[in-house]
Amino acid sequence: MSPEKTALLIDVIAGMLEGLGRVAVGASSPIPAAAAWLARERGGGRPQVSVLGSGAHSDMTDGGRELFDRAGQGRIDAFFLGGVQIDGGANINLIGTGPHPSADKRFPGSYGSAYLYFVVPRVILFRVEHSPRTLVEKVDFVSAPGTSPAGVYRPGGPHALITGRCVFRFDAARGRFRLASLHPGHSLDEVRTATGFDFDCADDPPVTPAPSAETMALIRGPIGGNLAEVYPRFAAKFLGGERAA
Amino acid sequence: MSPEKTALLIDVIAGMLEGLGRVAVGASSPIPAAAAWLARERGGGRPQVSVLGSGAHSDMTDGGRELFDRAGQGRIDAFFLGGVQIDGGANINLIGTGPHPSADKRFPGSYGSAYLYFVVPRVILFRVEHSPRTLVEKVDFVSAPGTSPAGVYRPGGPHALITGRCVFRFDAARGRFRLASLHPGHSLDEVRTATGFDFDCADDPPVTPAPSAETMALIRGPIGGNLAEVYPRFAAKFLGGERAA
Amino acid sequence: MTEALSLDRLAGRVTDGAVLALPPDYSFVPMAAVRALVRRGMRDLHLVTVPQAGIAADLLIGAGCVATVETAAVSLGELGIAPRFSAAVESGAVAIRDSTCPAIHAALQAAEKGVPFMPLRGLIGSDLLRVRPDWQVIDNPLADGGDPIVLLPALRPDVALFHAPFADEHGNVWLGARRELVTMAHAAKETLVTVEEVRPGDLLADETPAAGTLPALYVSALAEAKQGAWPLGLAGRYEPDRAHLADYARLAASEEGFAAYCAAHVTDAASDETTAPIAAE
Amino acid sequence: MTEALSLDRLAGRVTDGAVLALPPDYSFVPMAAVRALVRRGMRDLHLVTVPQAGIAADLLIGAGCVATVETAAVSLGELGIAPRFSAAVESGAVAIRDSTCPAIHAALQAAEKGVPFMPLRGLIGSDLLRVRPDWQVIDNPLADGGDPIVLLPALRPDVALFHAPFADEHGNVWLGARRELVTMAHAAKETLVTVEEVRPGDLLADETPAAGTLPALYVSALAEAKQGAWPLGLAGRYEPDRAHLADYARLAASEEGFAAYCAAHVTDAASDETTAPIAAE
């Protein structure tokens, strides 16, 4: 992915974290982590950001369960999830394709999705690959469902889906995605072809705005510094020699 | 209580801890603590002893719940409980006398008894005052019951009751105490008069043996050292100037 | 994030009627803050002792700040019963919710985990079940029947209040192995902490102190209170003032004596004068 | 009490068919001990990853030591899927018990607390419930009806196995803030630990290290294993050997490559030769 596209994704995700109190980011998630740091820079220290598995950038001292306990306490306002497959109902599958248990192609597993998707108010789905293979009509395995029947305890759920081509917002009442913006250089037709599920859409969707010069300076400056420390390989690719470890 | 009687109680309790793996002692329990240390000296380091609220003599690092978690894991073989009242079914009352909640005389509360009495295999009841006021036919409030119906999860329960006058063993099958020995200088008639509940008894119960010279040397030596460190006021009274803090 | 307040303003974050969790006597008891609560004339507190308490609870009860005590035990330890607690329970001046130590720990862990209840073994056959209608016996759904077990509702204090040896400039608080306080803070809506001192640096930056540190995320406000556990001790730092505690036990045996004790040691904030607001970050 | 063993004898404490709990990749992974298990030709292990795992699980699975994997995820992180894990699940060579991170933590906490189950929010509507018939949905008995919640049975491993930076001469093990390992040890019947070094003294004697220490009570046996987490890192001590891990990911993509990796780095105990038995107490 080009550095420009990477910066665009960081910027658009950061916009979704504005005004929140606390954001947590899973392990090996450099773009969401950069977005959270960017939101914090812009917010003058808010949201507070916890990046898992990042040593100095983690503030957890109660072991691996603390993230989930915090989420259950209502102390995490936003989190990020991906998916081997994501369907039009925002159901996510992190387990693999084909029948369970003997998958056609087995992926790592559901991680904390089957819990966090229910209790974190703003879950942002992030999957760069936007193809009929990843965005499907119906997932083969529901690691975590996009919506729940009335009565099921569910203070949280999906907020948006960001891909390499566009931004979808999730409409919980309708249980469907709505195209919010197309990234520069991508068309609605292209997105329709690349998306395995049906979604709502205005006739003329806006274009995802490119990051401002100010944002780019933050990304190249303090955010790049954090990235170089926690994700040196990613930072080297993204920011080049200036930030290589 | 005389130093001789105190040493006798320490010795008789220590005998009940022989061969066990791990013993825990509650806060402010100098005689049980001394007994546990004595058993450990005799056993060459076994049982392992945890004395609560004693700083260096505690080995808990998971907060106040660790004692109870350990007990639930089956890692505590013996513990000590007392009682404002103890009845003939080994029910114990740590709450007070009279009706609940507005007791005639309110005592501190049930502490951990309502749990530990169920899960620690060998619970030793210890109450120096042996009178119709403390050893009653029926407790006014059951902080923890002596026995449980079939089906109730209960790997633990009462093993014995040691008072200032005698030793009772508890017969779980019969749900009754049996007099095991009379302390030197005390008679069966006296114990019957002082006991509010009916108990089983041989016609000619043995006398609780006095501590050996070897045991007295341990009590005055290493055990006294531990006591002086953890319970300085008790040690000063019990062992006199030689061990005063 | 963590606010830095004066002792009195910290105490002012507790509102009348709040569910207030306090530590056991052996663990970082916020005595200076408790005196500040008495001076502010708090009313109708629902005290939760984690899992038991001593002079802190007795003082609040004697001063009329408390409507309900939820506890496994209140006592002055070696010095005997907690006289104001016992008198208030006997007279009905406070409502008592009797509990047992592991039930309080487990109910706080339920709140910590965001679950509505926690199961606990034991209890069945105890009269505690009779006086705690909020505790419910069910048949273990994972067994084949005939395995009764108690469910305890989650206990989520409005405020957890304790005293710690030190915090860092970011509001991270060092608690060492006193993890019942970590659970209290995780479970509570707000956590107020007094500390002996605020140190420069970041306790989370080094793995050794980090292991014993409550992250600032959980700490709503901090105040500095030198000797803030007095007359109780602070393990490894100062010993309990045993003579003072014995005086308390003697005086508090009567209402008049208790009033005299308060007049001498509580009512006048000068007794906590070493307490100064710490500089805000 | 804690026994001091050689690495191989420590591994010998794990028996075929045991329920073996392993830490996540970011947390004190006992790679030297895992290689020793492979050399011993272990069979039919029921692996529990707490809550996820990486190369340690992949190696054991690839070597045929494992019958069942209970996990929230097995992956090589940045290096992609765990190839032997994925292949074994796809072929049915191992049985998979899919879980989710907080469920594994909660089920271990149930065992830690000696309760038969733990409730957990979330999960309802996930296909995990379909593939985990041991998880049961009940109607929350403390609500007024219509509040479904999942109960997870307690998870009590036969053996918890991990690598720590150091232990003291009494068998107390320093774990810092890696409290998932504390819970693992509390929950397990036996805990086996490898350490970089054994230090003189008593970690419990000073409050600062004590806060991050697992008491010897829980530690069945200890072995010294220098660089015992290699090729993974040990936070604050050594970095992961990224080149080696990338080699592993490449080779393990095929069965033949995996066999070549094992021949080069696992089969010969010389690769763990720095490992010596520590002096018994």
Chain C contact for B241 (CB, 8 A cutoff): no
What's residue B57's pLDDT?
61
Average pLDDT over residues C67-84: 96
Give the orientation angle of helix D242-251 with respect to helix D255-265, to 10 degrees: 140
D interface toward C at CB cutoff 8 Å? 106, 109, 113-121, 134, 136, 138, 140-143, 147, 149, 151, 153, 175-177, 207-212, 235-236
Taking the CA of residue B24 and the nearest CA in chain D, the distance in Å comes to 12
Chain C residue with Cα closest to B109: C73
The β-bridge partners of D191 are D160
pLDDT by residue (tens digit) across A131-168? 999 999 999 999 999 999 999 999 999 999 999 999 99
Residues D71, D76, D81, D82, CA torsion sign: negative
Q: Which residues contact A190 (CB under 8 A, 6 or more apart)?
A: A165
CB contact under 8 A, D121 and A72: yes
Chain D contact for A3 (CB, 8 A cutoff): no
CB contact under 8 A, D175 and C116: no
Chain D neighbors of A65, CB-CB under 8 A: 102, 105-106, 109, 179-180, 183
What's residue B243's pLDDT?
45
B11, B57, B127, B167 from B162: Cα distances, Å: 11, 24, 6, 5
Amino acid present at B66: E
Minimum mean pLDDT among A56-60, A125-129, A178-182, C270-274: which range?
C270-274
Q: Which of residues 111-140 of A touch C (CB under 8 A)?
A: 119
Neighbours of chain C (3+ CB pairs under 8 A): A, B, D
The β-bridge partners of A169 are A160, A178
Q: Which of residues 41-60 of A touch D (CB under 8 A)?
A: 53, 55, 60
Beta strands C45-49 and C19-22, pairing class: parallel
Q: Which uninterrupted H or E stretch holds C180?
A: helix C179-187
The string of DSSP letters for A49-112 reads EEETT-GGG----S-TTHHHHHHHTT---EEEE--SEEETT--EE-SEESSSSS-SEE-S--TT
- Grouping H, G, I as helix, E, B as strand and the rest as coil, residue C41 is coil
A229, C3, C31, C32, C104 from C159: Cα distances, Å: 37, 15, 16, 16, 15
Taking the CA of residue C5 and the nearest CA in chain A, the distance in Å comes to 20
Average pLDDT over residues D234-263: 96
Residues C98, C100, C105, C107, CA torsion sign: negative
Minimum mean pLDDT among B78-92, B223-237, D27-41, D104-118: which range?
B223-237
Cα diameter, chain B: 53
CB contact under 8 A, D73 and A109: yes
Mutate which: D217, D218, D219, D220, vs B, most B CBs within 10 A: D217
Q: Among partner residues D71, D101, D126, which is closest to A145 by beta-carbon distance?
A: D126
What's residue B245's pLDDT?
39
Residue C236 — very low, low, confident or very high, per pLDDT cuts 50/70/90? confident
Residue D27 — very low, low, confident or very high, per pLDDT cuts 50/70/90? confident
Q: What tokens were used for A241?
A: 């020699």
pLDDT by residue (tens digit) across B188-236? 999 999 999 999 998 899 999 999 999 999 999 999 999 998 888 899 9
Chain C contact for A69 (CB, 8 A cutoff): yes
What's residue C279's pLDDT?
38
Residue D225 — very low, low, confident or very high, per pLDDT cuts 50/70/90? very high
Taking the CA of residue A152 and the nearest CA in chain C, the distance in Å comes to 13
pLDDT by residue (tens digit) across A30-52? 999 999 999 999 999 999 999 98
CB contact under 8 A, A48 and C1: yes
Residue B135 — very low, low, confident or very high, per pLDDT cuts 50/70/90? very high
Residue B25 — very low, low, confident or very high, per pLDDT cuts 50/70/90? very high
Q: Among partner residues C111, C205, C213, which is closest to A61 by beta-carbon distance?
A: C213
Distance CA D204, CA D211 (A): 8
**Does the pLDDT value for residue D279 go beyond 60?**
no
The β-bridge partners of C73 are C52
Distance CA A209, CA A192 (A): 20
CB contact under 8 A, B28 and C78: yes
Mutate which: D115, D158, D186, vs B, most B CBs within 10 A: D186
Neighbours of chain D (3+ CB pairs under 8 A): A, B, C
What's residue D277's pLDDT?
43
Mean pLDDT for chain C?
94
What's residue B103's pLDDT?
86
Neighbours of chain A (3+ CB pairs under 8 A): C, D
What's residue A166's pLDDT?
98
Chain C contact for A61 (CB, 8 A cutoff): yes
CB contact under 8 A, D207 and C212: yes
Q: Is C55 within 8 Å of C76 (Cβ atoms)? A: yes
Please state, for a pLDDT cut of 70, what percent of chain B lies above it.
96
- Which residue in A195, A171, A191, A170 sits closest to A182, CA to CA? A191
**Does the pLDDT value for residue A245 go beyond 50?**
no
**Entry field: residues in chain B:** 245
**Does the pLDDT value for residue A120 go beyond 70?**
yes
Q: Among partner residues D186, D213, D216, which is closest to B69 by beta-carbon distance?
A: D186
Chain B residue with Cα closest to D209: B61
The β-bridge partners of B127 are none
Residues A12, A13, A14, A19, CA torsion sign: positive
Taking the CA of residue C208 and the nearest CA in chain A, the distance in Å comes to 11
Return the C-alpha torsion angle C191, C196, C199, C203, nearest 10. -50
Mean pLDDT for chain D?
94
Residue A208 — very low, low, confident or very high, per pLDDT cuts 50/70/90? very high
Q: Among partner residues D71, D92, D103, which is closest to A102 by beta-carbon distance?
A: D92
Chain C contact for A220 (CB, 8 A cutoff): no
Chain C residue with Cα closest to A60: C215
ipTM value of the model? 0.96
**Does the pLDDT value for residue D276 go beyond 70?**
no
CB contact under 8 A, D91 and A102: yes
Mean pLDDT for chain B?
94
Average pLDDT over residues A211-232: 94
What's residue A55's pLDDT?
61
Q: Among partner residues C109, C119, C209, which is closest to D208 by beta-carbon distance?
A: C209
Chain C residue with Cα closest to B60: C177
Strand order in A78-81's β-sheet? A48-51, A22-25, A78-81, A122-127, A158-163, A166-171, A176-182
Distance CA A60, CA C110 (A): 19
Using a 10 angstrom Cβ sphere, with 0-12 exposed, 13-18 middle and 19 or more buried, the burial of residue A212 is exposed
Distance CA D243, CA D230 (A): 12
**Does the pLDDT value for residue D108 go beyond 80?**
yes
Average pLDDT over residues C51-69: 98
Chain A neighbors of C216, CB-CB under 8 A: 59
Mutate which: A152, A154, A237, vs D, most D CBs within 10 A: A152
- Which residue in C90, C142, C102, C144 sits closest to C126, CA to CA? C102
What's residue A56's pLDDT?
58
List of E strands, D140-261: 148-153, 159-168, 173-174, 190-199, 213-214, 221-224
Chain D contact for A79 (CB, 8 A cutoff): no
D interface toward B at CB cutoff 8 Å? 1, 111-115, 172, 182, 186-187, 204-205, 210-218
**Does the pLDDT value for residue A103 go beyond 80?**
yes
Chain D contact for A178 (CB, 8 A cutoff): no
Please state, for a pLDDT cut of 90, what percent of chain D lies above it.
91
CB contact under 8 A, C217 and A56: no
DSSP annotation of B101 reads S
Chain C contact for A74 (CB, 8 A cutoff): yes
**Does the pLDDT value for residue A23 go beyond 70?**
yes
The string of DSSP letters for A204-239 reads SPPBPPPPPHHHHHHIIIIIHHHHHHH-HHHHHHHH
CB contact under 8 A, C114 and A69: yes
The string of DSSP letters for C118-176 reads EEESS-TTSTHHHH-TTSEEEE-TTSSS--EEEEEE----SEEEEEEEEEETTS-EE-T
Q: Among partner residues B45, B48, B72, which is closest to D217 by beta-carbon distance?
A: B48
Residue C269 — very low, low, confident or very high, per pLDDT cuts 50/70/90? confident
The β-bridge partners of C138 are C149
Cα angle D231, D232, D236; round to 5 = 125
Taking the CA of residue A213 and the nearest CA in chain D, the distance in Å comes to 31
Average pLDDT over residues A93-100: 95
- Grouping H, G, I as helix, E, B as strand and the rest as coil, residue D110 is helix
- Residue that is written with structure tokens 């469920």 in the block: D103
Chain D residue with Cα closest to C205: D236
